[in-house]
Structure 1
Amino acid sequence: MQLTQPYNYKYYWQFRGRTISRQFETLIAEHNVVERMGRNLRYANRDRFQDIQFPNLNQYFEWREEVINSANIDPTDSAGFYWAKNNMAKYADETHTLERVAVDTGNKGTKVYYRSHAFWHASAKVNLPAVINNLYSSTLNGFDQRCSAYGNCLAVLTEMKFPDATNNLTLEFPEDYPRREM
């Protein structure tokens, strides 16, 4: 389930041919105000958007549960809608030139992950569009962790080689990849 913000639900439900009420539009407007607040204020306002605060929107909660529980909706439908709406192929189809990044973790030694401009653009587009052109901005939470999963996916699903410590494309799997044998 990837449709997490009220406006994403709105766009998806409109795509599915459903009518959006003025009450739900008001919820989206209030949510957008809170989203523009600083982190502490957003956290302080988190209770404003609990389902119980909106008793007149039960139909929307039922629609959301349909998506979550796949009642008459294939989960790929919402994912495909989101992919198309946000033109994600533009970012996913960029060249994936892998960069090796070594991080000193202190007591656990050096850990390595792999990143690419293409993966950065796709991640930023989904999670923090305002920084899409600010390559590797630290304001995009969890990018390095996402890169670990990205590297594992590339290793399993493609034939890409990974750069070694001398930046030569020699590795079939990310460094320290815990490969499972069958």
Structure 2
Amino acid sequence: MDYRQRKANRNRFQDIQFPSLDQYFIWRNEVANQTNIDPTDSAGFYWIKNSMAKYADETHTLERVTINAVRNQGTKVYYRSSAFWHASAKVNLPSVINTLYSSALNGFDQRCSVYGNCLAVLTEMKFPDATNNLTLEFPEGYKRREM
């Protein structure tokens, strides 16, 4: 659809309550005309649009998960939580949000690896060890960067 068609379709957004509902198009054009867009603006838009605060505010109870890595690289560990699952599903595949840890959500285990690293750096949460005790300061297998 080219710009002329989009402009012609503006009337479908108007109704008796909002006879000149053009703000959406004004914002879109402002963003389209910017050469240096801040990604936080986009993130903030989706945070509000998807009511993400309710998922982020859920209790983050970490569960240790082991998987057999490809190409004989041994067993790998990552950490997940239902709160992170709900947030990920809401953004990436809302149809499975109530099917906890559905394999339909592509790449969730990789996202969990980053999630665990963020929790380690930004919070004081402890991670479960192999006996499910919260003893680890960092995710199992985490390698800190050295200067």
Say which one has the larger Rg. Answer: 2
Task: Please report how far the alpha carbon of residue 118 of structure 1 lies from its aligned counterpart in structure 2 after TM superposition.
Answer: 0.1
Task: Please report how far the alpha carbon of residue 147 of structure 1 lies from its aligned counterpart in structure 2 after TM superposition.
Answer: 0.2
Task: Please report how far the alpha carbon of residue 181 of structure 1 lies from its aligned counterpart in structure 2 after TM superposition.
Answer: 2.8
Task: Please report how far the alpha carbon of residue 22 of structure 1 lies from its aligned counterpart in structure 2 after TM superposition.
Answer: 4.2
Task: Please report how far the alpha carbon of residue 75 of structure 1 lies from its aligned counterpart in structure 2 after TM superposition.
Answer: 3.4
1:100 maps to 64
Secondary structure of 2:66's partner?
Answer: strand
Identity %: 76
Alignment match of 1:159 (pick from 99, 102, 124): 124
Write the distance in 1 (CA, Å) between the matches of 2:93 and 2:11: 22
Amino acid across the alignment from 1:64: A
Write the distance in 1 (CA, Å) between the matches of 2:130 and 2:102: 24
Amino acid across the alignment from 2:43: A
Task: Please report how far the alpha carbon of residue 179 of structure 1 lies from its aligned counterpart in structure 2 after TM superposition.
Answer: 0.9
CA 1:109–1:89 in 2, change beyond 3 Å: closer, same or farther? same
Write the distance in 2 (CA, Å) between the matches of 1:174 and 1:84: 30
113-122 or 172-181, which moves further after superposition?
A: 172-181
CA 1:69–1:175 in 2, change beyond 3 Å: closer, same or farther? same
1:179 maps to 144
Answer 1 or 2: which has greater helix percent: 1
2:42 maps to 78
Task: Please report how far the alpha carbon of residue 63 of structure 1 lies from its aligned counterpart in structure 2 after TM superposition.
Answer: 3.7
Name the Cα RMSD after superposition.
2.3
Task: Please report how far the alpha carbon of residue 79 of structure 1 lies from its aligned counterpart in structure 2 after TM superposition.
Answer: 1.7
2:20 maps to none
1:21 maps to 7
Amino acid across the alignment from 1:144: D
Q: Unmatched 5+ residue regions in structure 1?
A: 1-19, 27-59
- The yes-or-no answer on 1:69 pairing with 2:33 is no
**TM-score by structure 2 length?**
0.77
Q: Unmatched 5+ residue regions in structure 2?
A: 1-5, 13-27
Amino acid across the alignment from 1:103: I
CA 1:181–1:25 in 2, change beyond 3 Å: closer, same or farther? farther
Amino acid across the alignment from 1:84: I
CA 1:80–1:23 in 2, change beyond 3 Å: closer, same or farther? same
